[in-house]
Every structure is written in C-alpha cells, then in structure tokens.
Amino acid sequence: MSYQVLARKWRPRSFREMVGQTHVLKALINALDSQRLHHAYLFTGTRGVGKTTIARIIAKCLNCETGITSTPCGECSVCREIDEGRFVDLIEIDAASRTKVEDTRELLDNVQYAPSRGRFKVYLIDEVHMLSSHSFNALLKTLEEPPPYVKFILATTDPQKLPATILSRCLQFSLKNMTPERVVEHLTHVLGVENVPFEDDALWLLGRAADGSMRDAMSLTDQAIAFGEGKVMAADVRAMLGTLDHGQVYDVLHALIEGDAKALLEAVRHLAEQGPDWSGVLSEILNVLHRVAIAQALPEGVDNGHGDRDRVLALAQALPAEDVQFYYQMGLIGRRDLPLAPDPRGGFEMVLLRMLAFRPADTADAPRQSLKPVGISQATVDSAKSVAAAPVVAPVVAAAVAPVEPAPVVAPTQTPEPEPVAPVVAAEPVVEAAVVEEVVDLPWNDPVEPAIVQQPAVAPVLETASEQPELPPVMTPTPDSVVPDAPEWAAAPIPEPSVAEVDAATPGMDLDDEPPLDEDYIEPDMDSAYSYLDDLASEHVAEPAPEPEPEPAAAPATGLALQWLELFPKLPISGMTGSIAANCTLISVEGDNWLLHLDPAHSALFNATQQRRLNDALNQYHGRTLTLTMELIKPEQETPAQAASRRRADRQREAEESIHGDPFIQQMMQQFGAVIRNDTIEPVEALVSQG
C-alpha cells in the first residue's frame, strides 16, 4: 500500500475531529440538528484552515443513510464514498480551472436533475473568487432559488473579490487562522499516535512556520520526519527551515542587560555562522522585547506561542521597563536604517553597540560624563539687567536700543519742546491726553512708599484717504519718578533674574531646583546681538504676540481674596514663582495655616519647589513660620493676574476714548478722511524711578 501523507491521513471526517473553528461548527451543528438548512454556504479563510474539509463533512451530514444529522456514522456506503472522493452527488469544482461562462452554464444545466443516490446534490465550488463576472451573473438566479434537493457550498481565500450579489445569497462563515498553541497541541497528538519521537521546541518551530495553516503544519511535519530520519528534532527542523535559534536572541539580550560588549559581539559571531537575515534577527529581538513589555504590564497576558513564556517572564523581571522601551525604539529605528549600512552585519552590530552605549546609566560601572552646570549664562543675565534698567519708550524700541545707548529723545532730566505739527496730513500724530494718577506698590522690591503713575500721552496711528509720506513719531518724554501699574505676570514674559538677584530675594534656596536650561545653549556675541536689535528696531518689526489675557473672575475680590491682592505686590517673589502666586487666591487662614487655590490652567508651572519658595516668601514677609497649602482649583474671586488684566483693559478703554474724543483727531477725520486704527492705540507705560 502506498504511503499517505499526514495531511490527508489525518483529515477530519466529522465535526468532533475538527481542530478549532468552534464558532463555525456550533452554528452548523445547531442548524443540522434543528433541520434549519440553508441552500448556499460560503466559507472564507486562508489556506489549510478547513474550508474543503467542513464542506465534505456537511455533504456527509446531509446524505448519511442514518438521516440528516450533525454526527454522520462514517460506516455507511455514502460516508465511505465521500471520504474516498467518489460520491456521485458531491460535485467538486475547481473554479480556478473553470472560469469561463460556458463551464458555469454546463454546470447549471445539470442542476435540474435529481440526485442519483443521496438526498441532496451538493455542489462544492472551490476558489470561487476566480470565476469571471459573466460566470457570476449566470450563477445568480440558480444560487438564489435552487431546486430543493440542491445545496451550494462555496469556498474562497479572497472574499473581497466576490460580488455583493453573491455574498447576499449565501450564509458566510469566516474561518480563523490556527494559533501556534493549537497547532502544537494537534501535532503532539498526531506524532504520539504515529510513534514518531519529537522535541517540543521542534513542534513550536513547525507551529510558527505554518503561519496559521494546519495543512501546512502537517506537510512541514512530514518533511521534518524525512529530514530527521524518522525523528522530529529541534536542530533538524531549524536547519530545514533555515530559521534562527531563538536561544541566540536571548543571548544577545542577556549581553545587553549585563552591558558586556565582548559577550555581545560573541553572540553576533555565533549568529553570523548561520548566515541569517540580519533584518529578520532584529525583528526577532523586537518581538521578544514586545512580549517582555507585555509581561511587565500584564504577566498573565503573555502567550506561549514561541514556547518560551518562562524565559520571557524571567527577562521581564531582570530588565527595567524603561530599558525595554529604549531598546525597542532603538531596534525599530535601526531596522529602518539597516539597508543604508555598508555591510548588513556591521549595521546590525552598530545597532547593538548603540543600545549598549546609550543604555540608561543606572549602574555604578556605567560610563558617566561631566555635564554643564545648570544656571543662567552671563549673556542672559547682562541682557536682562540692561532691559530692566532701560526706559520703556515703545514695545520694540525699548528692548532694542537700551543696551547700546539711551535714545536722544528720552532725557531723564529735561523735557524737550514737542515738534510743531505741520499743516499737512500727518500719518502718526501725537495727541496729548489727560494725566492719570494711580497709587500702586512696587512688586519686585521690599515694601516701599506708594508712588504716582502718570500716563501722559497715547499715540494712535491714523490712516488717511490719500497716500502721504509717513512722518517719524515724536516720543513724549516721561519723568524719572514714574512707576508702572500693577505687575503684569500673565500678559508679558518676565526677564529671567540673575543668580545674585535670586539669592538676594530667596535666601537659603538651592538653585539646583530650577528647571534646567537648554544644554545646547551657545553664548552669543553681544556686539552682533545688539547690532541685530538695532536693525530690528529701525525696521519697526513687531514683537511676538503676548500671552493671552487671563479670563475675568467670576466675582470681585472680597475678604481674604482682597487681602491677597493687597499682599501680593509686597512679596519678594518674581519669575515663575511670581506667575504662580499671581494666579492664586487666598481661601482660608487658620492660625499659621494658609490655603491657596491655584488656577489649573497654570498647573504646568507648579511644583513642590515653587510652593516652597512662595511659602518662604510669606515667612520672610510676616517674620514667622507659616504652613502653606495649595490646591489646583479655579479661583472664584479675582486673582492678582486678573486684577492686572482688568486694569490694563480699563487703561486701554480710556486711551481709546481719549483718542476718539480729541478735537484735533476729529478735525483730521472730517477734513482728510482719516481713519483711526484702534489696534495701534496703546497707553504709554510710565517709567519706574529707582531713586
């Protein structure tokens, strides 16, 4: 008797012998037991998952001599003939070789005849997606209303190619791929019955190589038995398939964990003896790292599809989670760049050496390099001091010309006569406005006597109907004894203070708590920087848009919130700590325990260091130790930042009303058709007198 291959010898002959596909078998068994039979079935799935096998079992269930049942006897003549492939009423058609419409018409001509032996005439059309469009059209009517003794069973690996008219006439069942665990389980049973010695690792190699197909797994097992002279050994199967030894992947990973470059290169040398696909080796490493990451997040979620679950769990315990993510990302990028390497093996080695060189420095023997000291560069400190001491004349010119020399039109000790306005139309006239006096405190120094704020002029921009040459704006001088209004933490960026200023303002605080600056910062050439600022000011380049104004408070400040508004400008704080305090409000004071609410929109700036600095500032101001608690809750009453924003809005509104109500402006608008651009109206900020 000739040898029969395992795939045919172990083909299931009943639903009980089927491996997997329980979601399909349950529906078919219940339909057969309840006699709810459809006239057309469509089975889809990849090769070797049981489409033709299920179709033949259905044919036996329908024609078994014991009756229509989900458990055919397998002993009657009908069951034996179907198993042997010679039952006359089971017509198996290969659609790939009979694609013409003439073949389909010949098939349909025989549909009208009753079955010869069985109860039903079963048409099994394999690879039905290969039929031509004319063949599908010819099949439609018969497939929709066949004779009661005819059943159609269609099978395909590509259901997307089937017309919707065919799909709507069939009961569709999608067969799933076989998992490696299911394949190994079945191969263990088959080889045990066949008395073939085997190793578990060899079966896992075959299960993964089958790629979801049980028929491919059986065929590979046949090949492995022949290759291994009657045995299925892991080394023989690995040599037959040309696959990588999975243990070598773990050797590479263990060398990475130990940080042993010698062991790492030795593992690569052993890999090179097999002539592997280096991109495939990286893929295997990435697969292992992926499963290790799953094991660290959910140990019970690790599958045993590779037969190495225990090794994965052990690796998950030995390797930190951040290292796993780092190695995975590095390997992913290295696999992308591997085709660019001059030599594949060299590129693979460079990926591993890169992982080794940049691994997180969490051990005592890890290489360390000296880092730049964290702090503020001298260039930044000098420019911050210069800008802070410069007179504020215009939003751009102030920061630009202050470090070089004082502007000639701004004299701190004398008031020049304003230039007379020519009778021609001026594009940018200067209009004197009423002087506004307001009592404020200095927020960045110790508590001092209140000063007077004067806002002498508002400079709008007028657009005339006719094109006129623009006249340079005349800057209105401001006296030294002028101070600005309340601090504007939320509206304008605050210059970074120097190290000395921080030490003076916050004694006993460690600068190491400051957020690190950019390590790649290069100190610029100050001469070229100032020259660039001069050019920028001369070209009237607009500054970047300021930060958005804080939203108005839900209610005006009263009680403790009002006390916080009065206390805030007196605290010795600035920078990020000042910005946080400006967006807080005082909620409760119980002895020495203070509770503040901070707007959650500014939570990115808030940390324990900032809270400690604010607490130290309160202690310094009150001369005793207070306990400060801060909660991220949106304040319901007005914060200092919202109060400053409200005052700025009031000043802007007053400035616009002053411009629109000026008789000279109204006369220009009437005579020359000038238009006021409200977006150019800005209150001239007063200068701060330090004397």
Separation between Cα atoms, residue 426 and residue 197, nearest integer Å: 104
* Domains of the chain from N-terminus onward: 6-174 (3.40.50.300), 180-241 (1.10.8.60), 246-357 (1.20.272.10), 435-496+552-691 (3.30.300.150)
pLDDT at 307: 66
Residue 211: pLDDT over 80: yes
Q: How confident is the model at residue 174 (pLDDT cuts 50, 70, 90)?
A: very high
Q: How confident is the model at residue 59 (pLDDT cuts 50, 70, 90)?
A: very high
User: 154-168, 285-299, 334-348, 405-419: which has the minimum mean pLDDT?
Assistant: 405-419
Most confident of 251-260, 337-346, 430-439, 550-559: 337-346
Per the model's pLDDT, the better-predicted residue between 495 and 648 turns out to be 648
Residue 86: pLDDT over 80: yes
Residue 255: pLDDT over 90: no
Of the chain, the percentage scoring pLDDT greater than 70 comes to 71
Q: Are 315 and 275 in contact (CB under 8 A)?
A: no
Per the model's pLDDT, the better-predicted residue between 205 and 220 turns out to be 220
Residues 6+ apart with CB under 8 A from 587: 560, 595, 596, 597
Arithmetic mean of pLDDT, 261-265: 89
Residue 447, CB-side half-sphere exposure with 13 Å CA sphere: 9
Per the model's pLDDT, the better-predicted residue between 188 and 468 turns out to be 188
Per the model's pLDDT, the better-predicted residue between 452 and 236 turns out to be 236
User: 136-150, 164-178, 514-528: which has the minimum mean pLDDT?
Assistant: 514-528
Q: Helix, strand, coil proportions of the chain in percent (round to 5)?
A: 45, 10, 45
> Which tens digit of pLDDT belongs to each residue from 478-524?
444 333 444 444 344 444 445 444 444 444 444 444 444 444 444 44
- The tokens describing 345, both together, are 């093996």
Separation between Cα atoms, residue 86 and residue 289, nearest integer Å: 52
Residue 61, CB-side half-sphere exposure with 13 Å CA sphere: 24
Of the chain, the percentage scoring pLDDT greater than 90 comes to 16
Average pLDDT along the chain? 75
Per the model's pLDDT, the better-predicted residue between 588 and 432 turns out to be 588
Residues 6+ apart with CB under 8 A from 548: none
Phi, psi (rounded to 5 degrees) for 590: -120, 95
Residue 447: pLDDT over 50: no
Instruction: Indicate the burial class of 249 (C-beta count within 10 angstroms; 0-12, 13-18, 19 or more).
Output: buried
pLDDT at 626: 87
pLDDT at 467: 43
Q: How confident is the model at residue 410 (pLDDT cuts 50, 70, 90)?
A: very low
Strand partners of residue 432: 457
Residue 675: pLDDT over 70: yes
Q: How confident is the model at residue 362 (pLDDT cuts 50, 70, 90)?
A: low
Q: Tell me which amino acid residue 340 is.
A: L
Nearest to 571 by CA among 582, 562, 560: 582
- How many Å separate Cα 221 from the centre of its chain? 43
Nearest to 353 by CA among 444, 442, 246, 255: 255
Residue with tokens 């020495």: 592
> Which tens digit of pLDDT belongs to each residue from 300-339?
888 776 667 888 888 888 888 888 999 999 999 999 998 9
Residue 288: pLDDT over 80: yes
Nearest to 201 by CA among 184, 224, 189: 184
pTM of the model: 0.47
pLDDT at 306: 66
Contacts 24+ apart (CB under 8 A), 163-170: 163/133, 163/136, 165/136, 165/140, 166/42, 166/128, 166/136, 166/139, 166/140, 167/42, 169/40, 169/140, 169/143, 169/144, 170/38, 170/40, 170/41, 170/42, 170/143
pLDDT at 450: 41
pLDDT at 547: 56
Residue 446: pLDDT over 70: no
Residue 222: pLDDT over 80: yes
- How many Å separate Cα 629 from the centre of its chain? 34
Arithmetic mean of pLDDT, 274-299: 87
Arithmetic mean of pLDDT, 275-289: 86
Q: How confident is the model at residue 600 (pLDDT cuts 50, 70, 90)?
A: confident
| HEC profile of 629-675 | EEEECCCCECCHHHHHHHHHHHHHHHHHHHHHCCHHHHHHHHHHCCE
pLDDT at 122: 92
Grouping H, G, I as helix, E, B as strand and the rest as coil, residue 676 is strand
Residue 41: pLDDT over 70: yes
> Which tens digit of pLDDT belongs to each residue from 18-35?
888 889 999 999 999 998
pLDDT at 113: 87
> What angle, 0 to 180 degrees and rounded to 10, lies between the N-to-C axes of helices 246-258 and 309-318?
10
Grouping H, G, I as helix, E, B as strand and the rest as coil, residue 455 is coil
| DSSP codes of every residue in 158-210 | -GGGS-HHHHTTSEEEEPPPPPHHHHHHHHHHHHHHHT--B-HHHHHHHHHHT
pLDDT at 685: 64
> Which tens digit of pLDDT belongs to each residue from 568-589?
888 888 888 888 888 898 888 8
pLDDT at 568: 87
Residue 429: pLDDT over 80: no
